[in-house]
Structure 1
Amino acid sequence: MDLFSNTFNTLERALDYSSLKQKVIANNIANVDTPNYKPKDVSFKQMLAKQLNQPFEAIRTDSRHFEFQNTTNDSVISTQQNIEYNENGNGVDIDKEMSDLATNQIYYDALSNRISGKFSTLQTVIRGGK
């Protein structure tokens, strides 16, 4: 029996994706002046395929135990080759990275607001509508 609907699991995975994307974008921005650095990107499509094709569960000895799921997402980070924006071989476009950063922040905020709303709804139900 699931205590919560599948929505929480979906929102959690979406937050994982957004968090990983934030780390990759921040790494790209931090290396904007590093010679021969090639920017990295997170592919939502690859991450979704990995989650759908490789379920990882631990053996549960009791039905009341939580399910254990593998959350390593390193294989969904790709390096963009053959891109140079500076004469030193660096491939980071700072304008694109800042735009991606703002887009990802809006996405993360929307997800966190949605999950907060779900928890508020559960809290209202637990209190009996008060």
Structure 2
Amino acid sequence: MITGSNMHLLKNALDASSMRQEMISSNISNVNTTGYKAKRVNFEETLKKAIDGTGMQARHPNHFGASNFNAVRPQTVEQKGNRINENGNNVAIDTEMAELSANALYFQAVSAQLNNQYGMIRSVLR
């Protein structure tokens, strides 16, 4: 089904992938920075909560909420659970490289879905 909401959701997913790429690059570049804490992009968990109906609900038109899955935006959060080095840094280069690979696959999958959506639109317009 071709809807504006599908396109909007895919756009938000691409935005999340782009933000994630920036965060991973920032984490890698700060691997030796004293006191630096690794950052992650949270999008899929918030989207799942919105789809399940367990996300925040907007009760007024001026309120921000994520009850509608199209309202879900990527957010940057500090990573928890990594071992903290003697300089207070918690960046693990192996984790960052794995996240980089996972994000590349995620981007390819979302891009393919977006291309499929555009392909359906093109076929309808012919």
SS of 2:32's equivalent in the other structure is coil
Alpha carbons of structure 1 residues 38 and 45: separation in structure 2 relative to 1, 3 Å: same
Q: Could you list the runs of 5+ residues in structure 1 that have no partner in the other structure?
A: 59-68
SS of 1:105's equivalent in the other structure is helix
- Cα offset for 1:47? 6.1
Superposition RMSD in Å: 3.1
- Does the Cα contact within 8 Å between 2:23 and 2:40 map onto a contact in 1? yes
Distance in 2 (CA, whole Å) between partners of 1:101 and 1:53 is 32
- Cα offset for 1:55? 9.2
User: What residue in structure 2 maps to residue 41 of structure 1?
Assistant: 40
When normalised by structure 1's length, the TM-score is: 0.67
User: What residue in structure 2 maps to residue 62 of structure 1?
Assistant: none
User: What residue in structure 1 maps to residue 111 of structure 2?
Assistant: 112
User: What residue in structure 2 maps to residue 53 of structure 1?
Assistant: 57
When normalised by structure 2's length, the TM-score is: 0.69
SS of 1:41's equivalent in the other structure is strand
Stretch moving more, 45-54 or 95-104: 45-54
User: What residue in structure 2 maps to residue 121 of structure 1?
Assistant: 120
Distance in 1 (CA, whole Å) between partners of 2:46 and 2:37 is 20
* Larger of the two Rg values belongs to structure: 1
- Does the Cα contact within 8 Å between 1:57 and 1:70 map onto a contact in 2? no
SS of 1:9's equivalent in the other structure is helix
Alpha carbons of structure 1 residues 83 and 99: separation in structure 2 relative to 1, 3 Å: closer
Alpha carbons of structure 1 residues 34 and 110: separation in structure 2 relative to 1, 3 Å: same
Alpha carbons of structure 1 residues 108 and 53: separation in structure 2 relative to 1, 3 Å: farther
- Cα offset for 1:27? 1.1
Distance in 2 (CA, whole Å) between partners of 1:37 and 1:111 is 31
Distance in 1 (CA, whole Å) between partners of 2:116 and 2:31 is 38
Q: Could you list the runs of 5+ residues in structure 2 that have no partner in the other structure?
A: 63-69
- Cα offset for 1:57? 7.0
Alpha carbons of structure 1 residues 35 and 25: separation in structure 2 relative to 1, 3 Å: same
Count of residues in Structure 1 that have an aligned counterpart in Structure 2: 113
